[in-house]
Amino acid sequence: MRPVRVPAVASAVAALALLSGCGAAGGLESAGEAPSAVEPARLWPDLPPASAAPYDYGEGETARIPGITVPGGDVHRLDPVAVAQAGLKARTDRDSGLDELPDATVRQIRSCRTAPDDCPVLAPYYFDLTGDGRDELVLGIRMPGRQLAVRAYRADRGGLTRIMSTSDAVISVELAGRDLILRAPSAISGYEYRTAWSWDDRQQAMLATRDEILRAPERRKDTGHDRTPSPSAPTPESSGSATDGR
């Protein structure tokens, strides 16, 4: 099926008026025929729409963190290790299972006070992800296989709510505007995945609003054939402040 073209009637009338009323030297001249608008062509229009998502990716999933209060709504005053430990007991509003951590990582988080050198909780970062003028808390948790769990928390009604939870073998975590950008190696050499997580006010959670596969920067050569991390440990790159929470 060819695209359906909608004639630009208003543009054609305007062009005709210009041609008929601008014969004097120095007058306005037509810039030519205006391009026609093209409607998107729908493929297989008789195909019935799906009634439910085939997979649950944990998008929009949130969790109230038990036992954590946020004095003055300031997440800077929280102990990130205490947040990570309390999060082990959190129950999500939907049970996708994607917020769960490996058993080895859970044991390390619980032992952060007695074995700080093995604590997988990275230094926290603070950004205003929601646009409400207050910072949110962003935590990274190292996992086996050089994977990284990235979680974001928001002060909410005197307590703390986890508004984002995802994990991947990331190359880096970056801040662009108010979006968190996760970069991960692609199975295609020379390419990488980039996923942008953005605050959605209606869902009251961070959603994966863009998921792309793009050419990797020339300065880095990916040699892996799977979504495995780069040799260097992932580090959040941004202008936000970070403090060691161990």
Give 206-223 pLDDT, tens digit per residue. 999 999 999 998 764 444
**How many other CB atoms are there within 10 angstroms of residue 223's CB atom?**
9
Burial of 224 (0-12, 13-18, 19+ CB in 10 A): middle
0.85 cut: is pTM over it? no
Crossing angle of helices 80-87 and 103-110, rounded to 10°: 140
pLDDT given for residue 148 in this prediction: 96
**How many other CB atoms are there within 10 angstroms of residue 103's CB atom?**
9
* Contact assessment for residue 78 and residue 160, using Cβ atoms and an 8 Å cutoff: yes
Bridge pairing between strands 136-143 and 147-156:
antiparallel
- Structure token pair of residue 199: 């605050």
- pLDDT above 50 (res 77): yes
- pLDDT above 70 (res 44): yes
Average confidence score pLDDT of the chain: 80
* Contact assessment for residue 163 and residue 152, using Cβ atoms and an 8 Å cutoff: yes
